[in-house]
Amino acid sequence: MKPNNILGLSHGFLLGHLQSVGLDFPKNISVVDVCPKGMGPSVRRLYVQGKDINGAGIYASFAIHQDVDGQATDVALAWSVALGSPFTFATTLEQEYKSDIFGERGDLLYLTLIKIVFTRYTEDGMSEDLAYKNTIECITGIISKIISTQGLKVVYESLTEEGKKEFLTAYSASYYPCMDILYEWYEDLVAGSEIRSVVFAGRRFYEKEDAFKGIKQIGVIGWGSQGPAQAQNLRDSLAEAKSDIVVQIGLRKDSRSFNEARAAGFSEESGTLGDIYETISGSDLVLLLISDSAQADNYEKIFSHMKPNNILELSHGFLLGHLQSVGLDFPKNICVVVVCSKGMGPSVRRLYVQGKDINGARIYASFAVHQDVDGRATDVALAWSVALGSPFTFATTLEQEYKNDIFGERGELLYLTLLKIVFLHRLIQKGVAKSSSTYHSTPNLLQDFRKNS
């Protein structure tokens, strides 16, 4: 490679190998990593589908390991966009290959194989305990017996010379990330905090249905952007799981939204549509999806209608910021969780419906547990995210969420775009820019704004 060239990777394993032999990449080149979160055929298929279906595309992570001339970040992001990735998040090259070894290759591949074998045994009438033992024996088989009785060295010595080289390469590159993560797992287990920070879900709500055990009614308060999408997705997921849980919409009876909710299949006659505060009082879970200003004006009355041990669910953490600003907090006798779909409400609903036919179409989400009074909050939040159709859910905190939202979505995405347009207008007024060029630039900015929104 020539000096100042850029080496692009889609997996960081080479870094692990270099570290295992005490080396690194040449210092005169940039090294970047862009990793689509899907297999190659899916990356291509969803890229092609994305020309006709908005939202179809594979998300990606990116990392900058070396940047010799300041271009690496721009090049990596341009590469990700060119692949069709609708959402790109930052990581490091080391984090990527460690998470890949344990996440994609360990959890996603091997655990999937184990699950398939286990399911086959149980469907044939075998008890779960016996099915588990037979599954482990089937997967590990002879090699586990050899290792347990004679050690790993015997396996190594049974290989060909070429096989030994491949074994040493893989073993050396995997040893340190394996040990790091195993130590983390051990510490989590000792501390009792072995909760995964990422949950893969798709449309498998039936696997999380037990998290809603004991819940008879979910109240969805509000019918703005998120309300219609979340209410309908929850209703449909519960129906698919043959659950008796009622999803009831709580609105002002004289509002236009009341008729819109009726048109979406909710009604007073079926017990799925009612007054705001009656819905809150009668629900075990309350999804508070009214506007930030309405939450700030009405939180006292809302809290007063919630029963002890109820769960308050938010899709934006602004209410925490407001409470902190006036020296208050949420009532201590309720759970408080947040699940934030990374898209506008109409997209959450549209991609949920598309997801029945198109694998990969759906909206990712973050979740946070702010208060947990009875140990149910994490399970309920993850079940809620799965029921919304989120194929990928990652952990955050309520405070991080609302600060990121204010500065990222509302600050950068909305206001900075508008400021650019105002800036172009001022350039015209001062004669710095031609009105014709600015006229053509403004629609481009607005197009980016609409796409990102």
Q: At what angle do helices 292-304 and 318-325 cross, to 10 degrees?
A: 70
Give the C-alpha separation, 146 to 161, whole Å.
20
Structure tokens at 208: 């999380």
Structure tokens at 206: 């039936």
Q: Any idea what DSSP says for residue 307? A: P
Q: What does the buried/exposed string (b/e) look like for 351-368 if buried means 16 or more CB atoms within 10 Å of the residue's CB?
A: bbebbeebbbbbbbbbbb
Give the C-alpha separation, 6 to 28, whole Å.
10
100 is in an annotated binding site: yes
Choosing from 305, 316, 370, 440, the catalytic residue is 316
Give the C-alpha separation, 275 to 252, whole Å.
6
Structure tokens at 382: 């993850």
The residues near 353 (Cβ < 8 Å, ≥ 6 apart) are none
316 in catalytic set: yes
Give the C-alpha separation, 251 to 266, whole Å.
12
Q: What CA–CA distances, in Å, run from 380 to 306, 386, 411? A: 17, 10, 31
52 is in an annotated binding site: no
Binding site for Mg(2+), by residue number, is 100, 104
The catalytic residues are 316
Q: Which residue numbers belong to the known binding site?
A: 100, 104
